[in-house]
Structure 1
Amino acid sequence: MKIIILGAGQVGGSTAESLANEGNDVTVIDQNPALLERLQEHLDIRTVVGHAAHPSTLLKAGIKDTDMLIAVTHNDEINMIACQIASSLFNTPKKLARIRATDYLAYPALFALDAVPIDVIISPEQLVTDYITHLIEQPEVLQVLTFFGDRARLVAVKVDAESIMDGKAIHDLLDILPKVQMRIAAIFRNESAIPPGGKITLQADDEVFFLAEKHQISELVKVFKKDYQPYQRIFIAGGGQIGKQLAQRLEKSHNVKIIEHNETRARIIAEDLHKTLVLHGDVGDANLLKEENIHKTDVFCAVTNDDEANILSAMLAKRLGARKTFSIISKASHVELVEGTSIDIAVSPAQITIGTLLAHIRRGDVITVHSLRQGAAEAIEIVAHGDKQTSKVVGRTLAELKLPKSATVGAILRKDKILFAEKNIVIETGDHLVIFLTEQQDVDDVEKLFQVGFEFL
């Protein structure tokens, strides 16, 4: 597929890397030559220096025969105009754009085909807010990924020493929770994936990914965590779009405080929030955090626009007694920097956004894509089409599927029923399958497997 990406920042660069590694013909446009040179050093892509919304720049990038335009510059208006030009002048088949301003997002009619023709709108702030909300609503987990319209979730949890499952085999879960249906998708021990067979004995600090129906997740998490307790007291550092949206989501069911350094902004969000206590101050002010009883806080969420402020304030909050600390970290190098520190969860907006982009780019009928472990692994929801003659999966049992070794089927949504993977289940057309891959490079083989033959088309 021929794809043009507008913007070589964190999202654009990471998207270019994912798509180039999967064999796509990728061109990246940006006004900053240094960013483009950095990408070309390790990727087989074309780059064009220029204004992303200028027709001459798009022509230079090869817009005439491009299959898809992905507009992810930092400017909403440039992204919108570029999509308009791509449609009006060059009939580009598919256009994806990052839109941040809530004023634009509040009017969906603005993005109709006869207005600003954008096929898929990506709102990073909305995606990150959703992600952090899920982490808070489901305590003690490292990741929460939604499938089947959020009827099922794939959750990552670390095994606590002396928890019920420390030293137990996976099949012991059947005795501990006989009424809970689930599947272990993968286990990571010392950063390496190990086969999730029923006889595998779990150890403290193993990272376990399991798939279950949403309402049964809490019961499962409790057997891996020694002192499971729900989160009640939330402290949000940063009153920007994400901080405000997060407070609005949580204030009805949690005790929420938010701190914002800009006095005018603090007053504005205080008027819009009903039960949240809004504080004007510095997120790194230890005395203020102590005064606000940070030691009684269940989750400290650092969501400012500054990586360094997020990292330092989260570390400070942890040192002062906060139970859990989450930090938004935009730069990939900074994410690696905080691994093994007192920050419990590093949230990467780029990785979250890329998953949504990839769901609209992948071959076959891919519904959802989730990037895991900083892009090293992946979980997808994909739909089976065709019949036994035109499909390599329909009419076959799960045992007969020629999946890569790193791939595991977790569950199937058939009409309105969730079936957890068993070797003898025969795949039917229209089935939605959740597939977990511990090796991201195997995604291409899975997508090819689910493509139908020309007879079906």
Structure 2
Amino acid sequence: MKIIILGAGRVGQSVADSLVSERNDITVIDTDAARLRDLESRFDLRGVVGNGIEPAVLAEAGAQDTDLLIACAARDETNLVCCKVAQLLFRIPTRIARVRSRGFEGDGRLAGPEGFGVDRIICPEESLTRYIGKLIEYPEALQVREFAGGRACLVAVRARAGAPMVSHSIGELRDSHPDLSVRVVAIYRRFPEEPDRFIACDGGTRIEPGDEVFMLAAREHIQDVLAVVHRRGSQPAQQVRRIMIAGGGRVGLRLARQLAQAGGRFHVKIIEESHALCVELAAALPSEVLVLQGDTTDEDLLGQESVQDVDLFLALTEDDEDNIMSCLLAKRMGARRVLALINRRSYADLMHGTQIDIALSPAQAMLGELLAYVRQGDVQAVHSLRRGVAEALEIVARGDRKSSRVVGRRVNELQLPRDVHMGLIVRGLPESPHTAPTDAPGEPQVIIPRSTTVIESNDHVVFFLPHKRLVRDVEKLFRVSATFF
């Protein structure tokens, strides 16, 4: 696929890094020539220096035969105008824009074909807020990713000694919990002096203490899934009540506003160093959210604000080093769980396995929304995992037995690549699977596939792929052809 990326900032670089590794033809436009030279030296892509709203610059970048435009420059106006120019002059089929302004929410006329010609608006801050919201809802999880409009989820959790199914095999989990709609799709195990290693899963694989376990389950079974791997004995589910946010920028403000709408469920404090920003936060947020001016790495301040009683400490400033240090300090002082927002991929890799419970990359949180437009076939959802190495993919089976390699066939007949794990099937979804799930009769069915399960047309099949290079093989398998031999 031929792709133009407008903007070589943090988001643009992360997107380029992910897409180049999949053998796409990438061109990046930016006004900073030095930044583009750095990108060209690190990745197999082409840089064009200039303003992306100018037709001549887009033409130089090859807009005449481009398949996808991703406009992620620093300013909303630049991204919107670039999409409109790409629509009117170059007829680029798919146009995605990063827009921070909330004024475009809920009104498709502004962004649609008669407006700025944007097919999809992406807001990294909104993606982060949604992602963190899921971690607050399920505080024992390391990751929670949704499929089929939220009807099914991929959950990553750290196995704890003493939990019911830890030190037992996956087969024993199935036998002891036959009514639990769950499939263990991957285990990453820690080894001394080595990085975590992927462990392929079958019925005989044992779940060991300290394993990072990836499980696909129906939405209503997530708490049960967490219980069997993470909770000791009859230990109740953890609840998040007290939250401390370090950093009152865009993400911190969005998250605090969202938490305040929960009707007193959360006790939220924000620490921000800038006096002017503290004044803005206090004016924008309800009175029950406490806004404090101070340094997030100040041990005395954290102690005065009882960080040891905090259920979740979130470091969301724009400074990676401050986020890392404030999380380590908060954890040492007794915060139950800490999350650090880290932009640099190398830093995120270093934090894995330390006292920081979750190291979250803003680009990784939103990358799946972009990847769904790059994937071939009827891909509904993509989630980038393990810092971009692995991937979870929701793809729809189309056609019939004559035109499809999967429809009408049993799971054990499919020619799946080695290590690709089929996690679950959601059957009976409407044509628009992203409608909100309900408990009404006739709800779509979440199926844990067995070897004899037959794939039907319109089944939404969710896969776990430990290596992104396997994506093309899965897409090819699900491709519909006029005739199939």
Superposed CA deviations along residues 384-411 of structure 1, whole A, max 9, x for unmatched, are: 1111111111111111111111211111
Map of 1:177 onto structure 2: 177
Q: CA deviation at 1:56?
A: 1.4
Gaps of 5+ in 1: none
* Structure 1: distance between partners of 2:223 and 2:299: 34
Letter in 1 for 2:455: I
CA contact (8 A) 2:104 2:111 kept: no
Q: 250, 265, 270: which one pairs with 2:277?
A: 265
Q: 330, 341, 362: which one pairs with 1:317?
A: 330
Q: 202, 205, 227: which one pairs with 1:200?
A: 205
Map of 2:253 onto structure 1: 244
Matched, 1:361 2:374: yes
Q: 246, 263, 267: which one pairs with 1:255?
A: 267
Superposed CA deviations along residues 111-167 of structure 1, whole A, max 9, x for unmatched, are: 021111100111100000011110111011111010111111110011112333332
Superposed CA deviations along residues 25-78 of structure 1, whole A, max 9, x for unmatched, are: 211112223332233234322221222222111111111111111111122111
Q: 1:160 to 1:363 in 2, by over 3 A?
A: same
CA contact (8 A) 1:237 1:302 kept: yes
* Structure 2: distance between partners of 1:304 and 1:175: 46
Instruction: Output aligned runs, 1:93-112, within 5 Å.
Output: 93-105=93-105, 107-112=107-112
* Structure 1: distance between partners of 2:343 and 2:109: 31
After the TM superposition, which parts of structure 1 deviate over 6 Å for at least 4 consecutive aligned residues?
Answer: none
Q: CA deviation at 1:436?
A: 0.6
Q: 464, 470, 474: which one pairs with 1:442?
A: 470
CA contact (8 A) 1:367 1:382 kept: yes
* Structure 2: distance between partners of 1:229 and 1:420: 27
2:248 alignment partner, SS class = coil
Map of 1:452 onto structure 2: 480
Q: CA deviation at 1:106?
A: 6.1
2:456 alignment partner, SS class = coil
Map of 2:9 onto structure 1: 9
Instruction: Normalising by structure 2, report the TM-score.
Output: 0.90
Q: 1:429 to 1:144 in 2, by over 3 A?
A: same
CA contact (8 A) 2:181 2:446 kept: no
Q: CA deviation at 1:184?
A: 0.6
Matched, 1:332 2:345: yes
Instruction: Output aligned runs, 1:285-296, within 5 Å.
Output: 285-296=298-309
Letter in 2 for 1:248: R
Q: CA deviation at 1:107?
A: 4.5
Q: 383, 387, 392: which one pairs with 1:379?
A: 392
1:142 alignment partner, SS class = strand
Q: CA deviation at 1:109?
A: 2.5
* Structure 2: distance between partners of 1:254 and 1:142: 20
* Structure 2: distance between partners of 1:349 and 1:219: 29
* Structure 2: distance between partners of 1:176 and 1:237: 43
Instruction: Output aligned runs, 1:11-410, within 5 Å.
Output: 11-105=11-105, 107-190=107-190, 191-225=196-230, 226=232, 229-251=238-260, 252=262, 253-274=265-286, 275-410=288-423
* Structure 2: distance between partners of 1:45 and 1:146: 32
CA contact (8 A) 1:11 1:353 kept: no
* Structure 1: distance between partners of 2:52 and 2:210: 46
Map of 2:434 onto structure 1: none
* Structure 1: distance between partners of 2:68 and 2:175: 50
CA contact (8 A) 2:5 2:28 kept: yes
Letter in 1 for 2:30: D
* Structure 2: distance between partners of 1:140 and 1:148: 22
Q: CA deviation at 1:81?
A: 1.0
CA contact (8 A) 1:11 1:354 kept: no
Superposed CA deviations along residues 239-283 of structure 1, whole A, max 9, x for unmatched, are: 222112212322322222112223333233334433322222222
Letter in 1 for 2:465: L
Q: CA deviation at 1:110?
A: 1.3
2:97 alignment partner, SS class = strand
- State the superposition RMSD in angstroms: 1.7
Letter in 2 for 1:86: A
Gaps of 5+ in 2: 191-195, 429-443
Bigger drift between 428-437 and 282-291 goes to 282-291
Letter in 1 for 2:254: Q
Letter in 1 for 2:427: R
Bigger drift between 26-35 and 265-274 goes to 265-274
1:3 alignment partner, SS class = strand
Q: 1:277 to 1:413 in 2, by over 3 A?
A: same
Give the number of equivalent residue pairs: 456
CA contact (8 A) 2:296 2:322 kept: yes
* Structure 2: distance between partners of 1:130 and 1:455: 42
Map of 1:426 onto structure 2: 454
Q: CA deviation at 1:201?
A: 1.5
Bigger drift between 30-39 and 184-193 goes to 30-39
* Structure 2: distance between partners of 1:280 and 1:104: 32
Superposed CA deviations along residues 279-317 of structure 1, whole A, max 9, x for unmatched, are: 222222221111111001111001112212211111111
Instruction: Normalising by structure 1, report the TM-score.
Output: 0.95
